[in-house]
Chain A
Amino acid sequence: MQEPEFRAVDPRRCFLLWFVPPLTVFVLGLVVLLVSGHITGPFRNVTVVRALLASKRDFFQDEQVKRILMARGYQVHVTPAGSRDLARKPDLDSYHFVFPSGHVANEHVKTRRTGKHAVPFRPFFSPVVLGTFRGYAEALVRAGVATPHDQGEQPLYYNLDLQKFMELVEKHKRWNDYGAANGNRVIIQSPDPCKAYSGAVLAGFLASARDDNPPQTVEAAEDLARRIKPQIDAQGQTSEDMAPKYFAPEGPTHAAIAVIYEHQYLAHQLEKRGADKERVLLYPTVQHQSTPELISFTPEGDRIGELMMTDPELRRRAVELGFHSLGWNGATEQDFAGHLSERGVPEPPSGERGRVALPKAELFERMIDVVGDCR
């Protein structure tokens, strides 16, 4: 005998069938977002770390970097300033850490922090380079002052003979003397040397083209500064932060040759997978590797510095953003060239040739003050 079937419809079960799958998706998503640092949960404290940054703010303003730091419980609040400006800020002590772009400013900051908490970290370096456009690079090749670094049809890197280049500049040559449609004088445009480290380095480049032996006395430094000053003054008013302008579609209008950092260029090309054939770099005969220092003033700053040195995700991202990473012992790490070539970007000639011999810090400072009429 067959028992009558009773199908009891359980309303709760019905609801759960409807409700559980989306809830699962939601919960899983929430967990993923929390872990990856996209959002913060109610149970995690996020420490806001206040930082004064020069050109290296590119790193802390990167979305992925922000996410990685957020996942570690930190948010870096960025205040931008040029490196030399940064070292003189009256409110320097109010930050958790600062990150000037180069040696002179690094030392200045450490001097000001004498007797107080000041822990330096050197997570990476990047050379100062000259960003230009293919038409201008080719004009310089025609002028006999630049040579393509690699043999391809559209080389991204050129070597620039600074001494010969300086002769063009001193003879007041124009771009249209070498077949580029521009009546302006051939000069390099940089940020204000009084404020930005890259602007100061340009003065160092031009000075070394005039005299390979760095000056040893204040008088010699001032004299050399006066010799190169007209070539820096010709650009008129400087503009801060040349990189964003250089990479804008109006880049060639902003400047024919702009002083930038190599990492800014590589980050751009890595993002485009090497497809931007218009923007090319000039590497001066003598180069300058700027070694930015993260100088921490507090335990929170220390923690960011340690993460920069040890966190594998942050360090991988630094390479993706075009930095040459450095380990605790100061040695380069990671396969920089391999990483670039995987993404269609040829290896730049950084570090292949001599380094510019900059004068001692106090003489260099004096030189810059004369060149820039710094107040």
Chain B
Amino acid sequence: MRILLAVLLLLLAACTSSTPQPVRLKVLASPELADLGPVLEELKRATGVELAVEHRGTVEASRSLAGFDLAWLSTTRFLRLRGAEPALSTSIMTSPVVLGVKPGKRAVLGERPTWADVADRAAVGEFRYGMADPRVSGGGMAALIGVATAAAGTGAALRTEDVSCDRLQGFLTGRVFDVPDPIAEYARRSDVDGVVAHESELLSLNASGRADPVEIVYPRDGIVLSDYPLMLVDPAHRAAYDRVVEWLRSAEAQRMIAERTWRRPVDPATPRDEKLRADIGTALYFPDRQEVLDRLLLFHDRAGDGRQVIFVLDYSTSMRGARIAALREAFASLNGFDRFHVGETVTIVRFAGSVLEERSITVRGRQDLDALLAVVASDDLRDNTAIWAALDHALRLARGETTVVLMTDGENNAGPSVDEFLRVGRGEVPVYPIRFGEASAAELDRVAQASGGRLVEAGAKSLLEAVREIRGCR
């Protein structure tokens, strides 16, 4: 009888599905997925598939998946822009790219801040943050896209022509570091107000007690949601891939992912912690051209300290009334993305028959901007117009990378003529004349062309648009 029973048991054991062949797969994964260790242990136990993971920033990893069996990145978006997305990919979990803010600094950003608010406070030195390098990391790139989309203000996906350099600069002024692991750097330092990262990383940081808990800010104008697709790179491993995906999407694995790594499960039935139920708001439309990202990175690399803008402003009596009012209005409305930012040197040269006032300020905070407005508010208008003498004076003030903006409404009737002015070599500083009223278009255009700048009609576009277009980086 016993023998019979034993035979029966053996037979049954043979019938139940045996554990599949153990497999070891090479996986390229985003760096933040280093927290999946315990999940991968369990995966190996349940499916026999071991994932040997190499971590690389998502933007960098998306340049080539060669040599790997699977890829597990925060998104396929960068791969798709290159037309290099593997045919099979399955989203496993999600997490938005957001801002973690030190509780004491939270009020600076306002109640429900946008990326525009963050850039604005960063530009005047009131908010200092860290992020990952956008040339390498998906999180860093998401932040750049967020700010640039907000700056463009079209409500649609960013196009190449929407990316403007000066608006990124203000945001980047507040950046204290762009290391590969911004969370660790943030936890280590005390002089930083916030950090751009995935919600999951910030919740993990808060749970770990490594730093004072950060408050999570979901920018109101739009976040970028990472959906962590597992991709089959080498089709030969289809069977193992199917096993891994099936297990990762099982109730057990989804619960483990939510509990251990603070990512949002894709299975709606998985129970979630209160913190993973927070409303993350709107997502940004994501650009669909690689050139847009290339341009963002180009401007990102160029942004830096030590730029100078010199405004040469005509305060002759003919400017009285509407023209001077328009000029002041243009200055007053330079805020938000168009604001002068910390580290930028702004020089104002007021002139009539001679230079009336010269004021240079390297912006360190909000009060410096007020001082600039005070210069422009002057009612000291005089007779005569010595355009070329004033411009000559301004060009002597140029240091390093400089742009000169010349605003005038009259004919030159004092000092050197345009021919005399142009006879002297003027170097590399571009001059952007903005023409009001009767000023000679031909002369202004000659000077603009000779310097590498461009003539702007104050009437054709609003003055504000003109100022926005020409200041900032080239």
- Chain A residues with CB under 8 Å of chain B are 12, 15, 41-42, 79-81, 172, 174, 181-185, 187, 233-238, 244-245, 247-250, 253-255, 375
Contacts and interface: CB of A to CB of B under 8 A. Distances in A.
B298 interface: no
A80 B88 contact: yes
22 contacts: A81-B87, A172-B154, A182-B281, A185-B155, A185-B156, A187-B156, A233-B157, A233-B288, A236-B287, A236-B288, A237-B81, A237-B287, A244-B91, A245-B91, A247-B268, A248-B94, A249-B272, A250-B264, A253-B280, A253-B282, A254-B225, A254-B283
A42 B157 contact: no
B10 interface: no
Contacts of B426: none
A307 B272 CA distance: 40
Contacts of A187: 156
Nearest to A79: B88
Interface string B1-34: 1000000000000010000000000000000000
A218 B155 CA distance: 33
Contacts of B96: 253
Nearest to B159: A233
B94 A250 contact: yes
B287 A12 contact: no
A141 B79 CA distance: 39
B155 A172 contact: yes
A236 B285 contact: yes
Contacts of A15: 1
Nearest to A256: B282
A183 B282 contact: yes
B88 A184 contact: no
A101 B288 CA distance: 25
Interface of B: 1, 15, 77, 80-81, 83, 87-88, 91, 94, 96, 154-158, 220-223, 225, 227, 264, 266, 268, 272, 277, 280-288
B277 A249 contact: yes
Nearest to B94: A250
A185 B220 CA distance: 15
Contacts of A253: 96, 223, 225, 280-283
B266 A248 contact: yes
Contact of A248 (B80, B83, B268, B277): B268
A174 B77 CA distance: 25
Given A81-B87, A183-B222, A235 B157 contact: yes
A244 B281 contact: no
A254 B226 CA distance: 11
Contact of A236 (B225, B227, B286): B286
A250 B157 contact: no
Contacts of A12: 1
Nearest to B276: A249
Given A184-B282, A237-B287, A238-B288, 5 more contacts: A174-B155, A181-B220, A181-B281, A234-B157, A237-B286
Nearest to B91: A244
A361 B193 CA distance: 58
A248 B1 CA distance: 55
A49 B221 CA distance: 47
Contacts of A80: 88
Contacts, number: 83
B158 A236 contact: yes
Given A234-B156, A244-B266, A254-B225, A182 B285 contact: no
Contacts of A81: 87
Nearest to A189: B285
A238 to B, nearest CB: 8
Nearest to A26: B12
A80 B238 CA distance: 12
Contacts of A245: 91, 227
A187 B88 CA distance: 28
Contacts of A247: 268
Nearest to A12: B1
A79 B88 CA distance: 8
Which 7 pairs across A and B sit closest by C-beta, in order of nearness?
A236-B157, A236-B285, A234-B156, A185-B155, A237-B288, A237-B286, A182-B282
A66 B382 CA distance: 89
Contacts of A184: 155-156, 222, 282, 284-285
A79 B287 CA distance: 28
Contacts of A244: 91, 266
Contacts of A250: 94, 225, 264, 280
A42 B277 contact: no
Contact of A237 (B77, B83, B88, B221): B77
A236 B156 contact: yes
Given A172-B155, A235-B157, A253-B283, A375 B288 contact: no
A280 B79 CA distance: 33
A148 to B, nearest CB: 24
A233 B157 CA distance: 8
Nearest to B145: A236
Contacts of A183: 155, 220-222, 282
A199 to B, nearest CB: 13
Of listed A80, A81, A181, A249, residue having the most chain B CB within 10 A: A249
Nearest to B114: A183
A254 B94 CA distance: 11
B11 to A, nearest CB: 8
Contacts of B94: 248, 250
B283 A235 contact: no
A4 B81 CA distance: 96
B268 A249 contact: yes
Contacts of B221: 183
A235 B281 CA distance: 17
B8 to A, nearest CB: 9
A375 B82 CA distance: 12
A181 B283 CA distance: 12
B1 A237 contact: no
B94 to A, nearest CB: 6
A315 B205 CA distance: 51
Contacts of B288: 233, 236-238
Contacts of B80: 237
Nearest to A81: B87
Contacts of A248: 94, 266, 268
Nearest to A78: B242
